[in-house]
Amino acid sequence: MKEEIKVKDLNFSYETKVILKDINLSFSKGNFYSVIGPNGSGKSTFIKNISKILPSGDNSVFIDGIDISTIKNKKLAQTMAVISQDIIIEYDFTVFDIVMMGRSPYKRRFEDFNIEDEKIVEKYMKATDTWYLKDKLITELSGGETQRVIAARALTQETDIILLDEPTSHLDIQYQIEFLKIFKSLKVDKVIIAVLHDLNLASIFSDEIILINKGEVVSKGLPWQVINKKNIKEVYNLSVEVFENPISKCPYIIPIL
């Protein structure tokens, strides 16, 4: 399977505070990866590093063998889409116009959007159940609706890599499932990397899970290899029982109170 992202000896600090330490990982097309770990473990910083939102330094993050630091932002936006956890939009654009912005990386300066762009926007707005919101102002939406609109915008970029930074944080349970199912269905020809807090959702949807604690990779592998009583106790300081989900056959944890 072709390797799409390689992370090599990635370190990152905010001034004197070390956030990530010697991260070495690879991500291949056709897989849904989840990054889990307690608050403050470095999960979101990791996503920001591999998306170039935060500088990772030279020779740390590669896409198809190319150092991400050498890729121009417009070209990167044709390769990688990012959905962040907290989206604040304060201008009164319609939802349709917000989603259409996802086509901008493919346009020259001052070039108008065309019918093909409109078809792509409609396709992904329907996939994210936001088409009925197309004429509303983005400032009129709830947090969950806004999150789905931002997902639609990212999908219209039609990239090979999609990064999700706590994408279900503002969604009700039914939309959490529907949201993750959308991206799971796209994994055949994409790399999907999601930061998730819910370990059971990570277990159900992931092909591989990366467990990070205090800026270091503690465990990486199949759900059953990562989500176990020993890891949860050591990283989260929480005692749990781990069962087999009777439907997904994945590990399912229940805290011991």
217-251 tens-digit pLDDT? 999 999 999 999 999 999 999 999 999 999 889 99
pLDDT at 1 over 60: no
Q: What percent of the chain has pLDDT over 70?
A: 97
User: Bridge partners of 14?
Assistant: 17
Q: pLDDT tens across 172-208, in order?
A: 888 888 888 888 888 888 999 999 999 999 999 999 9
Domain regions of the chain by residue span: 86-158
pTM metric for this prediction: 0.91
